[in-house]
Amino acid sequence: MQMTSVEKTVGTLAMREMALALFSSVSWRHHGIGVLQGYVVEGSRAEVRLHVWAPELVKPGMDVSGDIHDHRFDLVSHVLCGQVGHEEIIPEADDEGEWAMLKLTHARAAKEHGYHGPTEPLPGRFNIRRSSFVIEQGKTYRFPAGRFHRSPVLPGVTITCVEKHNQTDASARILHPVATPPVMAFGHEMDWKIVGPALQKAREALASDCT
């Protein structure tokens, strides 16, 4: 059963203008799956972030082991510029499975430690099934809390506006190959030689109406 729903965005132009107006005042953090995250609204029942995606932001090795994850909130994401790769991942328990599960400390709880906290292996082995999508500019997609997915980063720069709903204090989890230790999304210093140009490309895309 498909977990992702996709629809045409209402208000894409307004969200682009909002993103451009706020861009220079946002405090960014680098998530190793290939995205810069910056809060627009934080600490409320529904939180809002801007995301900037670019291939150069992917931490080495993370696309092999470490980027399949779940969320502790229901995700609503509006694609303002570019395209988003999206794969639903369904784990199936199998004693001989090639995938393992790891519990993470969510980023906010580990803010004082570079957003990376203790991890804990979870029991079981798994095989996985995948369903792949490309979400186009001007579309909104929804994905439920507690389900696994990954976001393969496509060429160019992509900007999304993300809503977080029904957030809990549950720990996030990742799936990784049993034979390959996962690369951690956080716990590194921001490399502004990479981050700076990615942000500049995103700002230029927004200013040019993403064309």
DSSP string, 176-188: EETTSPPPPSSSS
Q: Is the dihedral of CA 102, 107, 110, 116 positive or negative?
A: positive
Rounded Cα gap, residues 77 and 55, in angstroms? 19
Give which of 152, 154, 96, 163 is closest to 125, Cα–Cα.
96
Domains (range + CATH), the chain: 5-207 (2.60.120.10)
pTM for this one?
Answer: 0.93
Residue 152: phi and psi, rounded to 5, are: -60, 130
The residue type at 46: A
The distance between the two most distant Cα atoms of the chain, rounded to a whole number of Å, is: 52
From first to last of its 211 residues, the chain has per-residue pLDDT tens of: 799 999 999 999 999 999 999 999 999 999 999 999 999 999 889 999 999 999 999 999 999 999 999 999 999 999 999 999 999 999 999 999 999 999 987 655 445 544 455 789 999 999 999 999 999 999 999 999 999 999 999 999 999 999 999 999 888 899 999 999 999 998 888 999 999 999 999 999 999 977 6
